């Protein structure tokens, strides 16, 4: 069986076949994901669940399809997809399932997802998962902040306001998405963000400022 790391990093093989010059931080990610985020509120207006759908880039999707097509029939069946999602779940658990939830700046704890689901559509792998906070959040103390992000920045997540919905009671809610200013961040850290630094996955761990954040205010 392939290791958990191999699954998430296998798309880097195509990149590794030719030299890569890292002109800035945006050259670092090797897996690209379009994220859709759904915030669930109960009838009292409390935040009770976060649902995510991740659409992976074609290169990663093709690599996974080829690597895990065990019966070589040109497609992934339910057994093969379940094998992939089990490995992914185990792998990204140490990265908080690529999910960050904050009450203002304070982390909100959440239960790990029961499972990760997946299917293929238009040549891309789609994964979906759901997490629940350990207790409902009432929005009174601070806005809810959510990010789909990989702290090593090997996997880059892309989302904007149109990718975010509120299920249930959305009365009195507003939202905004703030993206990092990579030019400024790279200029500030240009001495440490070198090619050798990026090439060693053990070195790369970035703070909140390197990820996009959705802020949800509800009255």
How many angstroms separate the CA atoms of 96 and 110, rounded?
9
How many angstroms separate the CA atoms of 133 and 147, rounded?
14
What average pLDDT does the segment 103-123 reach?
A: 95
Higher pLDDT pick, 115 / 153: 115
Token pair for 23: 């002109």
Beta-bridge mates of residue 216: 144, 175
- DSSP assignment of 62-106, as one string? HHHHHHT-TT-SSS--HHHHHHHHHHHHHHHGGGGGGEEEEETTE
Strand ranges for 84-163 from DSSP E: 99-103, 106-107, 117-121, 124-131, 144-148, 155-158
How many angstroms separate the CA atoms of 42 and 162, rounded?
22
Q: Given this model, what pLDDT does residue 185 score?
A: 64
The pLDDT tens digits for 124-153 are 999 999 999 999 999 988 999 999 998 777
């Amino acid at each position: 069986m392939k290791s958990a790391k191999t699954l998430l990093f296998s798309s880097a093989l195509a990149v590794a076949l030719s030299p890569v010059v890292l002109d800035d931080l945006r050259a670092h990610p090797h897996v690209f994901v379009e994220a859709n985020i759904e915030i669930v509120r109960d009838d009292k207006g409390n935040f009770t669940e976060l649902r995510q759908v991740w659409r992976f880039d074609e290169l990663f999707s093709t690599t996974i399809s080829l690597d895990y097509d065990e019966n070589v029939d040109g497609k992934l069946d339910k057994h093969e997809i379940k094998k992939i999602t089990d490995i992914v779940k185990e792998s990204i658990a140490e990265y908080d399932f690529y999910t960050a939830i904050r009450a203002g700046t304070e982390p909100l704890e959440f239960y790990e997802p029961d499972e990760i689901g997946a299917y293929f559509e238009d040549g891309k792998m789609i994964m979906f998962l759901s997490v629940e906070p350990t207790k409902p959040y009432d929005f009174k103390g601070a806005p809810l902040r959510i990010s789909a992000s990989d702290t090593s920045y090997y996997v880059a997540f892309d989302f904007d306001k149109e990718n975010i919905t509120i299920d249930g009671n959305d009365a009195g809610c507003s939202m905004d998405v703030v993206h990092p200013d990579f030019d400024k961040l790279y200029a500030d850290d240009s001495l440490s963000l070198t090619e050798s630094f990026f090439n060693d996955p053990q070195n790369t761990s970035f703070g909140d400022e390197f990820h996009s954040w959705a802020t949800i205010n509800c009255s």
